[in-house]
Structure 1
Amino acid sequence: MLKGFRDFILRGNVVDLAVAVIIGAAFGAITASLTADVITPLIAALVGAPDFSSLVVHVPVLHKVAPPSPLPANYVAPGEIHVGKFLNALINFLLNAAAIYFLIVVPMKYLLARFEPPAPPSTRACPQCLSDIPLAATRCRFCTEPVLAV
């Protein structure tokens, strides 16, 4: 039983996944800081608001709702839509996605393409019409010219 657990834990993809989760959490903190401390103030300087989290859309409420007596920390009044918090989360997501794509996916594609041998060709050109035909074909399907099998 323990040998099976050890084999499961030491399999490459489980270890890679654990490393990815840990690095992803740390990288999430970095991009959250970049969003909150650098990008949001730059955009806010253009828009004029100090922070996007203060952007709220008020919708008329059709019935009276009494707020709870001790207000919770994350209480949202009826009829308030916090658009700014969504914008902050959207900017943070886009930064994470862009960083993962440009810093991990693109270099990995480049490295894999560099180290993998090219796939063997599965087609060849017809000597008569120059269209692609399978390697084992004895006649071109486009011009019906007999060709020598490879």
Structure 2
Amino acid sequence: MLKGFRDFILRGNVVDLAVAVVIGAAFTAIVNSLVKDIINPLIAAIFKKPDFSALVFQLNGGKITYGNFLNSLISFLLIAASVYFLFVLPVNKLLARFFPAPAEPPKTHPCPQCLSDIPVEAKRCAHCTQLVA
């Protein structure tokens, strides 16, 4: 029973996932700091508000704090863009370089008589009716 658990834990996917969660948490803290310490002061300079958390909508005595949602949305968009441009795009380019897609066989070839493109499966050229082998 313990051997199966050990094999499961030491499987590459589980270790990779654990590392990704730890790095993701640290990366989220960095992006949240970027939003709080750099982007929100820029917003304060432009819109005269310290950040979006001050934006509140009153509805029948209840407070809807849509500013906090905007702060979270900015954080999410920055995290998603950073992950895409710093990790996904480079890894996809490397994978495409090391494992290129197999080339498709040609679907047409030139007719030996009139040199027009004809399908590979054709027995005769549609332009000059020449037999094609």
Deviation, 1:145, is 7.5
Q: TM-score, normalised by structure 2?
A: 0.82
Give 1:130's aligned residue. Answer: 117
Q: What runs of 5+ residues in structure 2 fail to find an aligned partner?
A: none
Q: 1:21 to 1:138 in 2, by over 3 A?
A: same
Displacement of 1:118 in angstroms is 3.6
2:35·2:75 contact (CA, 8 Å) conserved in 1?
yes
**Structure 1: distance between partners of 2:14 and 2:131:** 54
Distance 2:103 2:15 in 1: 33
CA contact (8 A) 1:138 1:147 kept: no
Q: Which structure 2 residues correspond to residues 104-123 of structure 1 after superposition, within 5 A?
A: 104-123=87-106
TM superposition shift of 1:79: 2.1
| TM-superposed deviation, 1:9 | 1.4
Partner of 1:58: 58
Equivalent residue for 2:47? 47
Instruction: Kindly report structure 1 stretches of 4+ aligned residues shifted beyond 4 Å.
Output: 142-148
Question: What is the aligned-residue identity percentage?
Answer: 56
Q: Number of residue pairs matched? A: 126
Q: Larger % of helix: which?
A: 2
Write the letter of the residue equivalent to 1:2.
Answer: L
Change in CA separation of 1:55 and 1:145 when aligned onto 2, cut-off 3 Å: farther
TM-score (norm 1): 0.73
Letter in 1 for 2:98: F
User: How far did residue 35 of structure 1 move?
Assistant: 0.4
The residue type paired with residue 101 of structure 1 is Y
